[in-house]
Structure 1
């Protein structure tokens, strides 16, 4: 398993990195690396998150298979490599390694070169805190696919021995002092982006399988790492304005914030307050883009039959301009320093037991703690929905957030319980959330119509009035369904007993 942090390096920042005391004290070894990546004509390996390459490093040749799946951390990937005789692919080497062979499968017989990277690499071996060894590389070069090319400039920090905490803290220091940011896309992913003009296939949320006897000190870092991996995976799609990328990134933020709430009795509140505030602020920016995405792709699409194509088109044109503004803010936030600081800060914080409260028992079995932890979340949701009929828009939104936290928490610990029981309970939450989501969309629609300022634009006035009338009918129907489904949730048996 490879643990590696990749930081994008603006050329103007290289001098600042090389002036860091650890870098300045370590002699650099320069190697010219040329890597050829292989795939099938239909890019079957890319679709499965597998990279197959042969790298010429000076006079040596190394063949590597990498998997997008690691140990759940955003900084880890499965990796298998072997020395080979030349820069030609050696299929027999892959066949000798069962895990790599399973990843590549029968596609090995169909692969051909698809793109290359050409990089000058300066490598240093750093010793951190006297116990962690890191291979630090500064890469400068390009990725080439046919006649197209794209510049590469980055710092890679690869763990070679010892605990990961010092590596993560060094990465955070470099990011802060030299204006670097996390590079969530590997060289292979950037090569495929150049080749296809497309985003990498979405790999799905991190699979969380906790052992039955997992202790608190191991469970919380593992759950944070899984959510951080999902967060990192959707930074590039969100920055590029991908609708689902923005949606998934917001979900990853909510999942991280849920972990702070679920484990609140046992974790340091000062650190969580800082992380929570940064996540909340980033989530609000993403929410601005998401609201306009929903308005355009769901609300207007659903209302178009009743409004008519002309009226919907007038609203769509005005909304597209507002969405462009909101997505520009999303891109600026995602490509800014905050996501990098969050990922590295969270990873460093959970790399040792410093996140535990002084009086917390880190060796306590999570399964023994969960009934009390989950009860807290369920009680809060039930309390917020107690007078469901009289809840205003803000109260319903608060209820929705509480139920989402309960749902995410249940899904995070599902591997410790019977999957069927968890599924049945979570299904009742999802149905309530579906209705609350429709009602929230109705409330947001009113706000977005107001943002379009129909009072100042005569052409928008009639279409806006028609949309609000349609929206009001949708809201009343959602309220009836919500009351029925809320009763079912209220009487559902918690799977944690």
Structure 2
């Protein structure tokens, strides 16, 4: 049983030749890989982010099971070399007694049909090289080939950095240097995840490889063991938000995405920003410039999200209300803007710097970390996390009581703080009394919804007022949005009253 620690990057076409030369040194090893990935008829393994395969590696076969780990650079992995056979049979019992095997059994136990069959296949030419960096031994694996499902094919062109010995920080350092040198971009989607998406398209009438899009990654429940030290707990919460952000960013960076990917990317960034803001004291490697860089990326993504909202809601509803047509309501935006931002060198270095902050929770087990830190009680962990949460809730209560006197900017600030507390509370939910925490989360969600409607009206009105300077027709939209603004403010009254009186789940 191993915890595989690796990072995978996609390679721009114009840098592939140079990368090949850098990997294919005299000590490099070529290896031909052909794998068959298994799945249930209903796709249970893919939904659970579990991969089960039989792979021919040169002249031998290996059965491998992989499952998602706690952070983006770590996965559960169990490999079983098989006796020499022409076509070995799959046997899930080979993984029994391992953490990944228990996860597989759990998924299959909940499946409507647990029969496993080949779902898709890969054919890859791998070039491997091991290097030493900062005292660590790291394997570089350049993979070129394809994923096949039905009659559809997806190309594979990626490089993996896998830690064989040493500290994960060394892996991040080497990956950062190669990413700068070869313009690599981080893709946390595995071949398995891409294969599941391709197989789904192969089953659709008229499905195409271009439409093989991974599902948007949504928030997951996080359990913080009471034996975890405060720094590792903060790192684990940060890692959970980062995992969600990276999964959605990877799909957008690939050039094909849905509005929900952008929404969930922003949710993931909000979750990790909540940890950066509220628990900064527990993240000793955090620099102010890093939080500023996350905020800058979030703001750029916000402009793209506002365009999506106007396209999906504002212009259709104005048309339905009988408003005059507004010529070119949106500026012409290059369709590559989002992928370009997310694959840029600055963004790649930002992801790696954030991953470095997650290492305390990724490397040490809860028990080992507790022993190393000389602490490890649930009470100590709650005492470390409680003060900023309780302070923010008091601030929200004050703003909720004064809501009628706040201007739009202050109301938007209140909305951001509500989200910050909601995400931070959800990430540490396993530590607090369930009933009182759920009452708080309900109150926060009830307040957040009408504030979101209000904010959309405010942002859209500002956009339409800017358009009205050259297009008088846009004044209809400004008036219509003013009425919506008044209704949205009124709809906030009851949720604000409830938020002002909600009990704290963190009170002593």
Partner of 1:38: 38
Is 1:330 the counterpart of 2:338? The answer is yes
Partner of 1:348: 356
String of CA shifts for 1:442-462, please: whole Å, max 9, x gaps. Answer: 1012123245x355347xx1x
Partner of 2:368: none
Instruction: Assess if the C-alpha contact under 8 Å between 1:400 and 1:436 holds in 2.
Output: yes
Partner of 1:204, secondary structure, is coil
Instruction: Assess if the C-alpha contact under 8 Å between 2:53 and 2:65 holds in 1.
Output: yes
Partner of 2:458: 443
Match of 1:81 among 72, 79, 86: 79
Partner of 1:91, secondary structure, is coil
The 2-side partners of 1:261 and 1:362 are apart by 26
Partner of 1:381: 396
Partner of 1:9: 11
The 1-side partners of 2:243 and 2:75 are apart by 11
Give the drift of 1:86: 4.2
Instruction: Assess if the C-alpha contact under 8 Å between 2:11 and 2:184 holds in 1.
Output: yes
Instruction: Assess if the C-alpha contact under 8 Å between 1:217 and 1:363 holds in 2.
Output: no
String of CA shifts for 1:375-426, please: whole Å, max 9, x gaps. Answer: 3323443455564223222221112112221222211211101222111012
- CA RMSD in angstroms comes to 3.0
Structure with a larger share of its residues in helix = 1
Deviates more, 1:243-252 or 1:45-54: 45-54
Give the drift of 1:46: 2.7
Give the TM-score normalised by the residue count of structure 2: 0.83
Partner of 1:489: 499
The 2-side partners of 1:332 and 1:294 are apart by 21
Deviates more, 1:276-285 or 1:187-196: 187-196
Instruction: Assess if the C-alpha contact under 8 Å between 2:78 and 2:95 holds in 1.
Output: no
Instruction: Assess if the C-alpha contact under 8 Å between 1:56 and 1:87 holds in 2.
Output: no
Instruction: Assess if the C-alpha contact under 8 Å between 1:165 and 1:352 holds in 2.
Output: no
Structure 1: 5+ residue runs without aligned partners?
Answer: 354-360
Is 1:258 the counterpart of 2:274? The answer is yes
Instruction: Assess if the C-alpha contact under 8 Å between 1:384 and 1:398 holds in 2.
Output: no
Instruction: Assess if the C-alpha contact under 8 Å between 1:237 and 1:246 holds in 2.
Output: no
Instruction: Assess if the C-alpha contact under 8 Å between 1:95 and 1:101 holds in 2.
Output: no
Partner of 2:263: 247
Instruction: Assess if the C-alpha contact under 8 Å between 1:7 and 1:156 holds in 2.
Output: yes
Sort the Cα spacing of 1:241 and 1:96 in 2 relative to 1 into closer, same or farther, 3 A: closer
The 2-side partners of 1:208 and 1:473 are apart by 41
Match of 2:240 among 217, 226, 246: 226
Is 1:91 the counterpart of 2:93? The answer is no
Sort the Cα spacing of 1:408 and 1:434 in 2 relative to 1 into closer, same or farther, 3 A: same
Give the drift of 1:35: 1.6
Partner of 1:221, secondary structure, is helix
The 1-side partners of 2:431 and 2:257 are apart by 37
Partner of 2:212, secondary structure, is coil
Deviates more, 1:83-92 or 1:252-261: 83-92
Partner of 1:256, secondary structure, is helix
